[in-house]
Structure 1
Amino acid sequence: MNLDENLLYEVLKHADAATLGRAACVSKQWHRTAQDERLWELICTKHWANIGCGNTQLRSVVLALGGFRRLHSQYLWPLSKPQSSSSASGSSSSAWAPFPPMIGAKPPARWGKDEVHLSLSLLSIRYYEKMNFGNRGR
């Protein structure tokens, strides 16, 4: 199936993160479209309550620190995962099970100011650590 990329974008902008991740596995075209930073921005901001700063300011900070896809995969998605009290199945530690189960899943709650600030802080700390200031000047 070869959909126009604009049509595919219009469909995928209504998907959640897990669906977007799965869609990226369909074909090269779908993968390329699913990597679109605008789609990940929609997913991230869908959960944000009013956090007291403008969208333009927030967007520029997130993009400077690696983008919305990175923010979601490394900092927002782990916060939204349900905590399991026991890991009865061995597949829970598998690298092939990165998405939470879809059956019976309730829609995620909107994140407040604290959750968004925490995720942005974690993202900025990781970015700062990667800058490796110790090796400059050598």
Structure 2
Amino acid sequence: MSVAGGTVSLSAVSTTRTAASFAERIGLPGTTFAEIGDLRGNGRSGFRHQTALWALDLDCPDGAVEPLNEALRQLLAQFDGREDILHELRPHWDLRVQCWGSSNSVQGGFWLDRPVLQGLARLGVDFICTVYLDDPDDD
């Protein structure tokens, strides 16, 4: 196993719509939520969000043989039957599935099975994945 853990996320970003409207339309509570004009981070910088953001994040399950594949499978299950809604929202939302993983090997690749690839294709969203090397000497 190369990928030892990580996170997967479906995110929706818009400059014209609200995150609340996305959540209502998709029928799922997000784990990350920001509206245009909301203060960023802890607010001390005074910077404000220029876009609305809704995201659903899932951690890779511990002990899975292929953690990214399993986390993507779980994420896709949340959107099963909601593909048409995502398609309707697409003109006003930048939709993507993002994932990152940590690898315990310099061969830090990952493997996705056919059902996961087919599920990503049904969603019709961009897919971005990054794998980082965990350096055992950093302990």
If each structure's strand is expressed as a fraction of its own residues, which one has the higher value? 2
TM more than 0.5: no
The alignment's TM-score, normalised by the length of structure 2, stands at: 0.24
Question: In proportion to residue count, which structure has more helix?
Answer: 1
Q: Comparing both chains, which one has the higher relative contact order based on Cα–Cα distances under 8 Å and sequence gaps of 6 or more?
A: 2
